[in-house]
Structure 1
C-alpha cells in the first residue's frame, strides 16, 4: 500500500479477529490482530500480511527440514535470514537423533498452521506470531515485517 493511500484512509483503533483458510484443504484457523497505535492500515491488509507471514513461517520450516530449497524464500526474506535458517537446519540435522531432537515426524509430516496473532507495532512495523504443528509437536514462529521501499518485507523470522 502506498503512503498517499494510507494518509487518506480512515484511522482504525481496535483489534481484529477472524478465521483464515491458509490452504484449501485445511480447516480455518483463528487469527487475531491487535494494534499498539491507531493506524490507517486496514484490517484486510493486516489480515493479508498475517497470512503472508504464516506462509513464510511454514515455508521456512520446510526449508529447515530440507523439504524445500531456500531459494523459495528469496523474494520474501532478507538474505541474512535465509542464512540463519540454513544454519539452524545444519545444526538440527547434525544433532543426535537418539536424543529425540530430530524426530521421525519432523521430517515426514506436513506443517499445519494452528493460529496466527498479529501486532501492528508502528506504521511500518508488523509483528506476527504463528503457531503450527508437525505431527504431535507444536512450534512457534515469530515474524517481523517492515514496510520499506514501497512493500512489506520480512526482517526477522525465528522458529522455536
Structure 2
C-alpha cells in the first residue's frame, strides 16, 4: 500500500468503529481504529492497513506452526522479522512434546481472528493489535507498520 501524500486532504481526528470480514466464509469481526494525532490518512486507508496487518499476523502464526512457508511474508515483513519468526517456530517445536500442544490444537486448528485494534501514532507509524484464536486458546499479535521508501511495511511483529 502506498504511503500518504502531502496533497491537500481533509484532516481526520475521530475514531472509526466497524466490522470487517477477513475471509468470505467467516462472520464479520469488530475493528476499531483510533488516532493519537490528527492526520490526512483516511479511515479507509487505516482500515485497509489493519486488514493487511491482520492477514499477515494470521499467516505469521501459520508459519510458526509449520503450516505455511515464510516466503509468503517476504513482501510485507523485514528479513529480520522473518528470521525471528522462524527461530520462535524452531524453539516452539523443539520444546513441546509431539503429543498435545504442537500436534493437536496448535498444529491443526485454523487461526480465527477475533478483533482488530489499530492506532495511528504518527504520520508514518501505525500500530495494530490483533486478537485471534486457535481452538480454545487466544493469542495476540502486535504489528507496527511504518512507511519505508514510500510504502507501508511491517517493522515489528510480535505474537504471544
TM-score normalised to the size of structure 1? 0.95
**Across the two proteins, how many residue pairs are aligned to each other?**
159
CA distance change for structure 1 residues 2 and 61 in 2, over 3 Å: closer, same or farther?
closer
- Deviation (angstroms), 1:111: 0.3
- Report the Cα offset of residue 7 of structure 1: 3.3
* C-alpha contact (below 8 Å) 1:95/1:101 kept by paired residues: no
Q: Which residue of 2 aligns with 1:48?
A: 48
Q: Which runs of 5+ in 2 are unaligned?
A: none
User: CA shift at 1:131, angstroms?
Assistant: 0.3
2:114–2:133 Cα contact (<8 Å) kept: yes
| Alpha-carbon contact 1:95-1:102 (below 8 Å) kept | no
Structure 1 residues 13-41: Cα deviation after superposition (integer angstroms, max 9, x where no partner): 01110000000010000000010000000
TM-score normalized by the length of structure 2: 0.95
State the shift of 1:99 in Å: 9.6
Partner of 2:60: 60
CA distance in 1, matches of 2:3, 2:82: 27
1:102 CA drift (Å): 3.3
State the partner residue of 1:96.
96
More helix by share: 1
* 1:6-155 → structure 2 map (5 Å cutoff): 6-97=6-97, 102=102, 104-155=104-155
Q: Which runs of 5+ in 1 are unaligned?
A: none
